[in-house]
Amino acid sequence: MLTTRPATLDDAALITTHRRAMFAEIGKSKPEALDTMSLHFRPWVERMIVAGKYVGWIVEDGGKPVASAGFFELEWPPHPLDPAGEARGYLLNFWVEPSHRRRGLARELVKMAIAESRRRGFRVSTLHASDAGRPVYESVGFRGSGEMFFAEKDSSS
Amino acid sequence: MLTTRPATLDDAALITTHRRAMFAEIGKSKPEALDTMSLHFRPWVERMIVAGKYVGWIVEDGGKPVASAGFFELEWPPHPLDPAGEARGYLLNFWVEPSHRRRGLARELVKMAIAESRRRGFRVSTLHASDAGRPVYESVGFRGSGEMFFAEKDSSS
């Protein structure tokens, strides 16, 4: 039976494993970069859970984790879409084990994360979609933002 | 003569005016939303300048402001593009008065903001581009990120 529970500090390693698996599947990062990221992400997420800025959800099938997702409170300047707000929700670390895909788990996790954003009074939520994830996010009402990024070239990533 | 200087606390109103003009020109926001945003943005940017998290640049022509731009230190989880980092640069509030466009001012301001990101040790910088701004950012090395956003519908924006 599938159950969903909030993540605790004890889940920091699992969340890190899922984050790494997500980026590995996207296929743009070198293993060394993913190793370094994992090393630094675990204590980061522990600190953010303690600070109340990261909220996670773990989906289990018969007690075994099969999916998870996270919400992060992102500091943001007052913006026309939330003109009195100073933060937005950032959705991250969406991962569903291959054995449990195409059952709507990601969609349910997105809805829980949007609900968390609302609970905190934020009017905007953002995320970075992989090509595979985009249709799920679109179905819930997400659309492209026009964000651009610049990354230094001589990284190990 | 054109000169560029760092923004100070005394520039908070000017920065807010430029931010408002930028969103007004994009044309997607109602005036009421821009009013509310301006009311909240000015104290926000004052706090962030004091905290050292916002850096601005003002371009003047004979002592009169004709362009400006800002950099904000955005908290971010360790990511494959900056696997040991916990922040990225966010470039915002790029504004050039119509009288001073097509002279490369925006491009110079982008370069200054990327330099600020590097000074802080960040490997990634992001921004949200208008259709008009995109070619400038591309010319410096920015590319689309695949970010998506969800915004509550019943806003005044």
At B60-77, the pLDDT tens digits run: 999 999 999 999 999 999
Alpha helices in chain A, H assignment, sequence order: 12-26, 31-50, 105-119, 134-140
CA A97 to chain centre: 15
| Probe site for chain A from B55, B150, B157 (most A CB atoms < 10 A) | B150
d(CA B94, CA A93): 31
Between the two ends of chain B, the Cα-to-Cα distance in Å is 38
Provide the pLDDT for residue B157: 44
| Probe site for chain B from A150, A152, A153 (most B CB atoms < 10 A) | A150
Please give the residue of chain A at the shortest CA–CA distance from B135.
A148
The residues of chain A scoring below 70 in pLDDT are: 154-157
Question: Length of chain A, please?
Answer: 157
Q: Which residue has the tokens 């593009």?
A: B81
Provide the pLDDT for residue B154: 63
d(CA B71, CA B50): 14
Q: Locate A55 and state its tokens.
A: 């909220």
Provide the pLDDT for residue A157: 44
Q: What are the angstrom distances between the C-alpha of A73 and each of A119, A126, B51, B62?
A: 12, 11, 19, 43
Look at residues B87, B126, B155, B77 and name the one whose alpha carbon lies nearest to residue A71: B77
d(CA A143, CA B101): 30
A-chain residues near B146 (CB < 8 A):
128-130, 134, 144, 147
Provide the pLDDT for residue B120: 98
Neighbours of B109 (CB within 10 A): 26
B40 touches chain A (CB under 8 A): yes
Between the two ends of chain A, the Cα-to-Cα distance in Å is 38
- Asked if residue A74 lies in contact with residue A87, where contact means CB atoms within 8 angstroms, the answer is yes
**β-pairing, B2-6 with A87-96?**
unpaired
With CB atoms and an 8 Å threshold, state whether A134 touches B157: no
d(CA B75, CA B88): 7
Please report the ipTM that was assigned to this predicted complex: 0.96
Q: What is the dihedral of CA A100, A104, A105, A111, to 10 degrees?
A: 170
d(CA A47, CA A35): 19
The residues of chain B scoring below 70 in pLDDT are: 154-157
B38-52: pLDDT as tens digits: 999 999 999 999 999
B136 touches chain A (CB under 8 A): no
Looking at residue A52, what DSSP letter applies? T
B59 half-sphere exposure, CB direction, 13 A CA radius: 25
Provide the pLDDT for residue A154: 62
Neighbour order of strands in the sheet with B124-128: B2-6, B54-61, B64-75, B87-96, B124-128, A147-151, B143-144
Q: Which amino acid is at A132?
A: A
Neighbours of A147 (CB within 10 A): 19
